């Protein structure tokens, strides 16, 4: 992106373009956010600083569930429903890239093609490499940019059954957990923590002919939810049956989300949660910067080779070695 090849917009141009809904400039700003180059990060933060405070009218929805639960089909069905209602929808979708190389095992499938073609929808694959299954401070920053661009519904897809859901919970207003019908094994394997952060459970793929098994699963999940502490005092979680493929249950999910938003705004928990999210982002960014300063500090760099050598030779334990590196950082004045 050197100036010789194409015009690099100024911060002013980025901010104005994003606010006017220019998708190309929004995309370029997200690319800056995701970049690891210091000059891009600097520019990204200048843009973000100017874009803050525009998100009060948005709703941020995290959609989680095990691989195969039908997350992208569901998100497309919900997104199409919403754009038909005149809403502007941004989806931060999982990019099925790995930590070591690009691309999914079976090749990239075209995902959410119909939604992607809609002028009021914006779909952005978020890189899952290097951080917790695709949710990171970068995801949070991307949400802020989409809000500045006027997207009213931001859907964040997260992969897997692990820590990434806990992280996404720190940046969305509402968490939807998609489950498959009839999976006793799956229920056993789903950790309680994942259920605990869900505001709504949808038994997805409850297609025609599978109603009985889906109803049974619904009863199982309802029983499981009853055992959990409440997440929000003003909200009672529930379980819905959906078939994204057949289009059933999707509008009920949206109605539930609207009811949730109304209840939370009334109780004041909505704003409290948004404040908590800002605090979380502040700390996440501070910790990232701290780590970077540590590894970039001249004294740490000097000490590292020697400490590593001694640790690898078995002369120094990793614990004592770490203490040495910390001492080097505290005596450093280079950063």
Query: 87 vs 304, which CB is nearer to a copy of itself?
Result: 304
Tokens coding 188: 């056993």
Closest distance to a copy of itself from the beta carbon of 183 (Å): 7
CB-based burial label for 192 (10 Å; 0-12, 13-18, 19+): exposed
Nearer to a copy of itself, 89 or 136 (CB): 136
Helix ranges restricted to H, the chain? 11-19, 23-34, 38-51, 71-84, 113-116, 137-148, 163-168, 184-189, 192-197, 211-226, 250-267, 269-296, 298-312, 318-330
Structure-token pair, residue 256: 């539930």
Q: State the nearest-atom distance from the C-beta of 173 to a copy of itself, in Å.
A: 16
Q: Angle CA(274)–CA(169)–CA(72) in degrees, nearest 5?
A: 115
Sorted by sequence, the CB contacts under 8 Å of residue 204 that are 6+ apart come out as: 65, 69, 70, 74, 178, 179, 180, 242, 243, 244
Q: Which is nearer to a copy of itself, 84 or 279 (CB)?
A: 279
Taking the least distance from each CB to a copy of itself, the nearer of 14 and 120 is 14
> Of the two residues 17 and 321, which places its CB atom closer to a copy of itself in the complex?
321
Least distance between a copy of itself and beta carbon 222 (Å): 12
Pairing of strands 238-241, 121-127: unpaired
Compare residues 262 and 323 and give the one whose CB is closer to a copy of itself.
323
CB of 67 to a copy of itself, least distance (A): 2
Instruction: Sort residue 263 into left (φ over 0), alpha (ψ -120 to 50) or beta.
Output: alpha
CB of 260 to a copy of itself, least distance (A): 19
Tokens of 90: 């941004």
Residue 179 CB, shortest distance to a copy of itself, in Å, is 12
User: What minimum distance in Å lies between the beta carbon of 303 and a copy of itself?
Assistant: 10
The b/e string for 16-30 (b: 16+ C-beta within 10 A; e otherwise) is ebbbebbeebbebbb
């Amino acid at each position: 992106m050197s100036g010789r090849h194409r015009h690099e917009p100024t911060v002013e141009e980025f901010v104005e373009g994003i606010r006017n809904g220019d998708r190309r400039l929004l995309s370029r700003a997200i690319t800056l956010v995701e970049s690891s180059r210091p000059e891009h990060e600097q520019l990204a933060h200048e843009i973000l600083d100017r874009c803050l405070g525009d998100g009060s009218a948005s709703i941020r929805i995290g959609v989680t569930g095990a691989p195969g639960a039908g997350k992208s089909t569901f998100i497309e069905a919900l997104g199409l429903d919403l754009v038909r209602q005149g809403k502007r929808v941004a989806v931060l979708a999982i990019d099925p890239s790995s930590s070591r190389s690009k691309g999914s095992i079976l090749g990239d499938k075209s995902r959410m093609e119909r939604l992607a073609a809609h002028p009021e929808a914006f779909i952005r694959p978020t890189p899952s490499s290097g951080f917790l299954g695709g949710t990171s401070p970068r995801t949070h920053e991307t949400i802020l940019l989409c809000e500045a661009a006027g997207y009213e519904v931001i859907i964040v897809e997260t992969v897997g059954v692990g820590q990434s859901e806990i992280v996404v919970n720190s940046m969305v207003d509402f968490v939807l957990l998609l489950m498959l019908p009839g999976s006793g094994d799956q229920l056993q394997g789903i950790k309680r923590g994942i259920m605990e952060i869900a505001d709504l459970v949808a038994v997805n793929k409850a297609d025609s002919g599978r109603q009985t098994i889906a109803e049974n699963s619904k009863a199982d999940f309802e029983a499981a939810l009853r055992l959990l502490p409440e997440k929000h005092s003003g909200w009672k979680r529930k379980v819905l049956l959906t078939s994204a493929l057949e289009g059933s249950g999707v509008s009920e999910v949206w109605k539930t989300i609207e009811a949730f938003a109304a209840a939370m705004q009334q109780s004041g928990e909505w704003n409290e949660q948004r404040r908590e999210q800002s605090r979380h982002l502040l700390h996440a960014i501070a910790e990232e910067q701290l780590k970077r300063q540590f590894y970039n500090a001249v004294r740490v760099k000097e000490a590292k080779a020697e400490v590593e050598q001694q640790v690898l030779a078995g002369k120094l334990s990793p614990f004592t070695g770490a203490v040495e590196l910390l001492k080097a950082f505290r005596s450093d004045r280079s950063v």
